[in-house]
């Protein structure tokens, strides 16, 4: 049975009211520029994508042969072109577009726009009023698929507003890994990606989520993400941005609702060209004995501007422990990093919150140390930079890892 | 035979401080030389200058290594010519593991078996996946430095205080590693040489040194048998050495 019309119209009314509401952070985007709508047909397999789309997808960690993947979801512009659940995992999880899930399950009312406020700003409003699918992944209770689900949200044309709404439900005692890539197949594409993500980790569940963003100079991105973690649940998030972007602003929230819930954010950002990057993470510790950790590594090269935010908000009556670790390196005298950690204890008497934030150059003594071992200056800077970014992400293909290191090597020269 | 290292009238400053004041020094292939001296006398400055660290600015004089003038060569070039250094207190490099460092330094897999044996002998198997020197104890740092040098295989090894921060038990291990590094545990390799800085002289129980020098106020004085020098220092301190310049 589909979700009720009553609920959908309530969502619509709230969205209508917020459609001109500016966001708290980041440059304001004129959404009326992005009105292009393109419908695309389904493909039989990921190999059926255009050459450009294939290359772009691969660079975000997508395995076209779907090896070591439990399932796949692929969207090009506004259309769902491919969704597949590997037969071996039938009965363990389900994958479909969120649009289909809303048609299929009336209980989606408990999840759809229940974590992210639909009236947060004009971007949430646009995603609600002009939703163009997004993925729905649900892993059944106590199921633990061995391999990750992969998803790719790709924009192939100009003036597209890709308004996806993603929902992941990890049922009680279940575990899920997701690797998702958001990217462009045209490097000069102008447009916007609005990604609403609402993830629910039930009692004792685990969600391990990796997102790779590969955008370009003319593209704007406004993700809006909330993760709700129940008792004994855990959420681990890896986020990687290593390509230029016109502007991106996101401040995902992990809401640790149940006792013993935990969340960890690892954010790796490499600012290139004149990218405007405003990223962070917020952890709300409401359950007793909840734990949070947020680690951000940022490098600002060229003329990029990076805001690296981190909020820890303790609301629990019991004990909680959370730490922010936010470090940056500025490679160019025209680049800027703003590290903004914030710790808030709302009457949480037993909360232990801490942070360390630093911005500094690559230590010369470290470079010289490596050089004294016979490593060239360029290689030393590259090795130290890679180590600083701590790129140790499971299920990323080796060539992608190599490519990331090449990007670092090419731009690290600026730091010399 | 040509000398391995020849230093002529070397004047060096760090910032606005003169740290070496007209040092003359030479050594042959295969020699192990010990440097003694009080704190701040210029021992570390001497070996850091030989290695080519840029903060040690050569104002005057020349350094010849294997007959080649290396005075203006950088660290990387000197390392490739065959110079290597073991730091007294190496910097911490978070994110770059000891394993990664060894992988980068190893050119081929031919020596892999030997490398594993070195790692085991130096009790470093459990440290390979930690950031370089991150949370290492004094002894662990020394062993990690020597392991890296075993991979690098320099012809002239500059070792800054191998005993500092190392407990008595581990000094033997460090001594053995130095001997192994220099090929002294096998048939003498006439090409591998060392300059070792020592405060306590403990390392002399394990390493068979050829010559000793005392460094005082930015200069090398009192060349002689290292054991005799150590015994003199133990009796009279460095005062007499300063007087006999």
pLDDT value at residue A385: 86
Verify that A91 and A222 share a domain, yes or no: yes
For residue A244, pLDDT beyond 90: yes
Contact A313, A284 (CB under 8 A): yes
For residue A400, pLDDT beyond 70: no
- Nearest chain A Cα distance for residue B182, angstroms: 17
Mean pLDDT over residues A248-270, rounded?
Answer: 96
Give me the torsion for CA of A39, A43, A47, A50, rounded to 10°. -30
Verify that A293 and A402 share a domain, yes or no: no
- Give me the residue from B79, B95, B104 closest to A390, CB to CB: B95
Contact A325, A308 (CB under 8 A): no
Phi (first) and psi of residue B92, to 5 degrees = -85, 130
Verify that A301 and A398 share a domain, yes or no: no
pLDDT value at residue A213: 93
The three-state secondary structure class of B130 is: coil
E-strand stretches of chain B:
5-14, 17-27, 32-36, 57-65, 68-69, 83-86, 93-97, 131-132, 156-160, 193-197, 211-216, 219-224
Mutant choice from B86, B90, B95 vs A, greatest count of A C-beta within 10 A:
B95
Higher pLDDT, A250 or B243: A250
Rg (CA), chain B: 18
C-alpha to C-alpha distance for A324 and A294, rounded to whole angstroms: 5
Mutant choice from A299, A360, A364, A373 vs B, greatest count of B C-beta within 10 A:
A373
Mean pLDDT over residues B57-62, rounded?
Answer: 97
Q: What percent of chain A has pLDDT over 90?
A: 84
How many Cβ pairs within 8 Å bridge chains A and B?
62
CA A94 to chain centre: 21
Write out pLDDT tens, residues A300-341: 999 999 999 999 999 999 999 999 999 999 988 999 999 999
Mean pLDDT over residues A349-369, rounded?
Answer: 94
Q: Find the closest chain B residue to A386 by CA distance.
A: B95
**Residues in A touching B56 (Cβ below 8 Å):** none
C-alpha to C-alpha distance for A351 and A285, rounded to whole angstroms: 9
pLDDT value at residue B222: 85
C-alpha to C-alpha distance for A138 and A27, rounded to whole angstroms: 34
Give the CB-side neighbour count of residue B190, counting CA atoms within 13 A. Answer: 4
Q: Which helix (H) or strand (E) holds B147?
A: helix B138-152
Residue B105 near chain A (CB below 8 Å): yes
**Residues in B touching A390 (Cβ below 8 Å):** 95
Q: Which of residues 41-70 of B touch A (CB under 8 A)?
A: 51-54
**Residues in B touching A372 (Cβ below 8 Å):** 51-53, 75, 79, 84-85
C-alpha to C-alpha distance for B187 and B10, rounded to whole angstroms: 35
Verify that A30 and A100 share a domain, yes or no: yes
For residue A413, pLDDT beyond 70: no
- Nearest chain A Cα distance for residue B229, angstroms: 31
C-alpha to C-alpha distance for B98 and A267, rounded to whole angstroms: 24
pLDDT band at A40 (very low <50, low <70, confident <90, very high): very high
Query: Mean pLDDT over all residues of chain B?
Result: 90
**Residues in A touching B97 (Cβ below 8 Å):** 387
Verify that A305 and A402 share a domain, yes or no: no
**Residues in A touching B90 (Cβ below 8 Å):** 369
pLDDT value at residue B114: 78
In whole angstroms, how far apart are CA B86 and each of A149, A345, A380? 48, 47, 18
Higher pLDDT, B110 or A233: A233
State how beta strands A93-97 and A135-139 pair.
Answer: antiparallel
pLDDT value at residue B200: 85
Tokens of B242: 């300063």
- Nearest chain A Cα distance for residue B238, angstroms: 31
pLDDT value at residue B121: 87
Domain count, chain A: 2
Write out pLDDT tens, residues B180-231: 888 876 655 556 899 999 988 888 988 889 999 999 999 998 889 999 999 8
Q: Find the closest chain B residue to A391 by CA distance.
A: B95
Contact A58, A64 (CB under 8 A): yes
**Residues in B touching A408 (Cβ below 8 Å):** none
pLDDT value at residue A399: 56
C-alpha to C-alpha distance for A91 and A96, rounded to whole angstroms: 14
Find the range with the poorest average confidence among A218-232, B35-49, B175-189, B198-212.
B175-189
Q: Which long-range contacts (CB under 8 A, 24 or more apart) does B18-26 make?
A: B18/B218, B19/B45, B19/B56, B19/B218, B20/B45, B20/B46, B20/B49, B20/B218, B20/B219, B21/B217, B21/B218, B21/B219, B22/B60, B22/B61, B22/B219, B23/B61, B23/B218, B23/B219, B23/B220, B24/B220, B25/B213, B25/B220
Closest CA to A271 of A338, A325, A323, A223: A338
pLDDT value at residue A401: 67
Phi (first) and psi of residue A125, to 5 degrees = -60, -45
CA A319 to chain centre: 29
Mutant choice from B75, B85, B94 vs A, greatest count of A C-beta within 10 A:
B75
Mean pLDDT over residues A4-10, rounded?
Answer: 96
Higher pLDDT, A169 or A403: A169
**Residues in B touching A366 (Cβ below 8 Å):** 91, 93
Verify that A247 and A349 share a domain, yes or no: yes
Burial class (CB in 10 A: 0-12, 13-18, 19+), A220: buried
* Complete edge-to-edge strand list for the sheet that includes strand A149-155: A79-85, A71-76, A149-155, A175-184, A206-214, A234-241, A262-271, A290-300, A320-330, A351-359
Verify that A288 and A410 share a domain, yes or no: no
C-alpha to C-alpha distance for B85 and B52, rounded to whole angstroms: 10
Contact A111, A12 (CB under 8 A): no
Closest CA to B192 of B223, B170, B159, B161: B159
Binary contact (A371, B100; C-beta < 8 A): no
- Nearest chain B Cα distance for residue A59, angstroms: 24
C-alpha to C-alpha distance for B109 and B123, rounded to whole angstroms: 21
Which residue range is the domain that position A374 belongs to?
363-416
Mean pLDDT over residues B49-73, rounded?
Answer: 97
Verify that A329 and A397 share a domain, yes or no: no
Verify that A375 and A288 share a domain, yes or no: no
Mean pLDDT over residues A61-75, rounded?
Answer: 94
pLDDT value at residue A101: 98
Residue B47 neighbours by CB under 8 Å, 6+ apart: B35, B85, B158, B160, B195, B197
Binary contact (A368, B53; C-beta < 8 A): yes
Residue B76 near chain A (CB below 8 Å): yes
C-alpha to C-alpha distance for A371 and B73, rounded to whole angstroms: 12
Residue B112 φ/ψ region, left for φ over 0, alpha for ψ in the -120 to 50 degree band, beta for the rest: alpha
pLDDT value at residue B168: 80
For residue B1, pLDDT beyond 70: no
Find the range with the poorest average confidence among A72-76, A308-312, A382-386, B33-37.
A382-386
- Give me the residue from B51, B75, B93 closest to A387, CB to CB: B93
Tokens of A280: 């962070």
Most confidently modeled of A173-187, A192-206, A370-384?
A192-206
Binary contact (A379, B104; C-beta < 8 A): yes
Give me the torsion for CA of A297, A301, A305, A306, rounded to 10°. 0
For residue A187, pLDDT beyond 70: yes
Q: In terms of DSSP H, where are the helices of A43-192?
A: 51-58, 98-104, 122-129
CATH architecture observed for domain B5-84+139-145+154-243: 3-Layer(aba) Sandwich (3.40)
Residue B107 near chain A (CB below 8 Å): no
Matching residue, tokens 């073991």: B86
pLDDT value at residue B108: 56
Query: Mean pLDDT over all residues of chain A?
Result: 93
Verify that A343 and A391 share a domain, yes or no: no
- Nearest chain A Cα distance for residue B24, angstroms: 24
Question: Domain boundary residue among A362, A377, A399?
Answer: A362
pLDDT value at residue B189: 53
Verify that A358 and A396 share a domain, yes or no: no
Verify that A414 and A317 share a domain, yes or no: no
Closest CA to B244 of B228, B218, B223: B223
- Nearest chain B Cα distance for residue A392, angstroms: 10
**Residues in A touching B79 (Cβ below 8 Å):** 371-374
pLDDT value at residue A410: 66
Interface of A with B (CB under 8 A): 363, 365-366, 368-377, 379, 383-384, 386-390
C-alpha to C-alpha distance for A403 and A183, rounded to whole angstroms: 16
C-alpha to C-alpha distance for A213 and A242, rounded to whole angstroms: 7
Residue B10 neighbours by CB under 8 Å, 6+ apart: B20, B22, B23, B24, B25, B49, B58, B60, B61, B62, B63
C-alpha to C-alpha distance for A29 and A44, rounded to whole angstroms: 36
Burial class (CB in 10 A: 0-12, 13-18, 19+), A279: buried
For residue A398, pLDDT beyond 70: no
Q: In terms of DSSP H, where are the helices of A90-222?
A: 98-104, 122-129
Q: Find the closest chain B residue to A388 by CA distance.
A: B95
Mean pLDDT over residues A15-34, rounded?
Answer: 96
- Nearest chain B Cα distance for residue A95, angstroms: 37
Tokens of B214: 């005392």
Contact A270, A240 (CB under 8 A): no
C-alpha to C-alpha distance for B233 and B241, rounded to whole angstroms: 8
- Give me the residue from B53, B79, B96 closest to A374, CB to CB: B79
Find the range with the poorest average confidence among A62-76, A325-339, A389-403.
A389-403
pLDDT band at A50 (very low <50, low <70, confident <90, very high): very high
C-alpha to C-alpha distance for B213 and B34, rounded to whole angstroms: 6
Closest CA to A20 of A12, A29, A11: A29
Binary contact (A374, B76; C-beta < 8 A): yes
**Residues in A touching B74 (Cβ below 8 Å):** 371, 377
Helices B138-152, B168-181: axis angle to 10 degrees equals 10
pLDDT band at B101 (very low <50, low <70, confident <90, very high): very high
């Amino acid at each position: 049975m589909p979700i009720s019309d009553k609920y959908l119209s309530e969502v619509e009314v709230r969205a209508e009211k917020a459609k001109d509401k500016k966001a708290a952070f980041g440059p304001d985007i004129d959404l009326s520029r992005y009105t292009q709508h393109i419908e695309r047909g389904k493909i039989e397999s990921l190999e059926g994508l255009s050459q450009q789309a294939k290359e772009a997808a691969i660079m975000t960690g997508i395995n076209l042969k779907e090896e070591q993947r439990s399932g796949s979801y692929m969207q090009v512009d506004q259309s769902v072109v491919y969704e597949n659940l590997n037969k071996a995992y039938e009965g363990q999880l389900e994958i479909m577009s969120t649009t289909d899930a809303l048609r299929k399950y009336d209980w989606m009312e408990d999840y759809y726009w229940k974590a992210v406020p639909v009236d947060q700003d004009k971007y949430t409003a646009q995603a609600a009023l002009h939703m163009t699918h997004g993925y729905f992944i649900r892993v059944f209770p106590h199921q633990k698929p061995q391999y990750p689900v992969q998803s790719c949200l790709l924009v192939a044309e100009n003036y597209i507003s890709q308004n996806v709404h993603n929902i992941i439900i990890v049922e009680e005692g279940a575990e899920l890994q997701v690797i998702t890539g958001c990217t462009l197949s045209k490097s000069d594409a102008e447009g916007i990606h609005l990604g609403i993500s609402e993830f629910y980790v039930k009692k004792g569940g685990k969600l391990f989520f990796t997102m790779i963003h590969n955008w370009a100079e003319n593209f704007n991105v406004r993700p809006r993400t909330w993760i709700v973690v129940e008792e004994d649940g855990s959420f681990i998030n890896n986020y990687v941005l290593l390509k230029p972007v016109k502007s991106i602003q996101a401040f995902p929230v992990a809401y640790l609702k149940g006792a013993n819930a935990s969340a960890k954010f690892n954010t790796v950002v490499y600012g290139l060209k004149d990218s405007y990057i405003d990223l962070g993470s917020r952890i709300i510790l409401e359950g007793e004995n909840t734990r949070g950790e947020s680690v951000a590594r940022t490098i600002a090269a060229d003329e990029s501007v990076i805001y690296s935010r981190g909020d820890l908000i303790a609301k629990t009556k019991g004990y909680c422990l959370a730490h922010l670790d936010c470090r940056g390196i500025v490679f160019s005298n025209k680049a800027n990093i703003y590290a903004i950690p914030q710790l808030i204890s709302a009457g949480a008497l037993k909360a232990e919150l801490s942070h360390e934030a630093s911005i500094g150059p690559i230590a010369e003594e470290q470079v010289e140390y490596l050089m004294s071992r016979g490593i060239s200056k360029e290689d030393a800077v590259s090795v130290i930079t890679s180590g600083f970014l701590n790129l140790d992400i499971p299920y990323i293909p080796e060539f992608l890892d190599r490519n990331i290191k090449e990007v670092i090597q090419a731009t690290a020269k600026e730091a010399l | 035979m040509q000398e391995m290292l020849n230093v002529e009238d070397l004047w060096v400053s760090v910032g606005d401080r003169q740290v070496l004041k007209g040092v003359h020094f030479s050594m042959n292939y295969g020699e192990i030389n010990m440097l003694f001296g009080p704190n701040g006398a210029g021992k570390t400055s001497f070996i850091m200058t030989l290695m080519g660290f840029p903060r040690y600015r050569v104002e005057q004089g020349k350094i010849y290594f294997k007959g080649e003038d290396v005075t203006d060569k950088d660290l990387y070039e000197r390392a490739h010519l065959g110079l290597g250094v073991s730091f007294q207190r190496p910097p911490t490099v978070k994110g770059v593991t000891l394993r990664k460092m060894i992988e980068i330094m190893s050119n081929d897999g031919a020596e892999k078996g030997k490398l594993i044996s070195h790692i085991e002998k130096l009790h470093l198997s459990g440290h390979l996946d930690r950031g370089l020197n991150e949370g290492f104890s004094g002894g662990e740092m020394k062993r990690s430095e020597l392991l890296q040098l075993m991979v690098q295989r320099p012809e002239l090894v500059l070792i800054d205080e191998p005993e500092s921060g190392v407990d008595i038990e581990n000094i033997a291990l460090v001594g053995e590693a130095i001997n192994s590094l220099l090929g002294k545990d096998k048939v003498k390799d006439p090409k591998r040489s060392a300059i070792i800085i020592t405060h306590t002289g403990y390392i002399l129980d394990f390493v068979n040194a050829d010559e000793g020098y005392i460094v005082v106020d930015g200069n090398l004085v009192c060349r002689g048998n290292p054991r005799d020098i150590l015994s003199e220092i133990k009796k009279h301190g460095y005062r007499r050495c300063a007087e006999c310049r």
